[in-house]
Structure 1
């Protein structure tokens, strides 16, 4: 369980920073690349991560799940998407800090209408982002681009016993 919203926001900021490192590895020509027609493109995934931040915040602020989408109206270029990601992160961070620790003891509804502790939804925010960042990593590798190492080293560089 999460006990302090400020500590949680710091944790979330670290995840956001690692996602932004991925932005630097994406060439412009791959922004709308996708493995098949029925999948999200790299740009869709990044816009989706950003829009989901606002969706999650809406649960705590308004008690409703509203998704603003992941189409190019939320950013058509890497720079625009980067700005959208930053803006959504700022809104999420400021919103959670404004709500404060009181949110941690509240109940909210899931998408399926089940009541759960709000901290469970808070836990799904980083899980959601990390899931989609993993997709971006796979997409980059499918295009022969080495994704960033989230902690600076490949496993082969870690000393073995």
Structure 2
């Protein structure tokens, strides 16, 4: 990955869909779990945003940096504000990455990967969990779902 701007734009095209998904749920649906031991809708959204922040910070620091913990939200508006803040913060970290950051090998859960590969894994991780959110929306009876990627 030589162009961080292209990466950021691709990542944002997926993150914008998470923001759009939050427009389709109500506050009572935030605690929905498809199964007893699964993450709630709110927890899964936070897992997506917290993980991407963790990956970006890890690449910036050159060493594993734990992400934020999930919080309890009572309203969609509160969760939307958290996701917006996380997105803004992660975007700033990503835009600050240098070529050296992207090339530097990083130890990550038993693997040594260049920062650029770790970021690709991060985007894949976000896309994977975003797909799960689509299933959550359908299980909640929501028929109007956004397209899987935002081009606007």
TM range (shorter): 0.7 to 0.9
Match of 2:97 in 1: 99
1:65 CA displacement: 3.1
Closer, same or farther in 2 for the Cα pair 1:151/1:6, shift >3 Å?
Answer: closer
Instruction: State the number of aligned residues.
Output: 148
- Output the aligned Cα RMSD: 1.7
Normalising to structure 2: TM-score of the pair?
0.87
TM-aligned CA deviation for residue 151 of structure 1: 5.5
Residues 151 and 52 of structure 1: CA distance in aligned 2, closer, same or farther (over 3 Å): closer
Corresponding position: 1:53 with 2:52: yes
**Higher normalized contact order (CA 8 Å, seq sep 6+, divided by chain length):** 2
Give every structure 1 segment of 4 or more consecutive aligned residues whose post-TM-superposition deviation is greater than 4 Å.
none
Shift in CA distance, 76/109, structure 1 to aligned 2, threshold 3 Å: farther
Aligned partners of 2:8 and 2:100: how far apart in 1?
14
The structure with the larger Rg is: 1
What is the Cα deviation at residue 143 of structure 1? 2.2
The match for 2:24 is 25
**TM norm structure 1:** 0.83
Deviations 1:90-140 (A, max 9, x none): 11111121123332211111122x211111111112211111111111111
* Structure 2, gaps ≥5 residues long: none
Where does the alignment leave 5 or more consecutive residues of structure 1 unmatched? 153-161
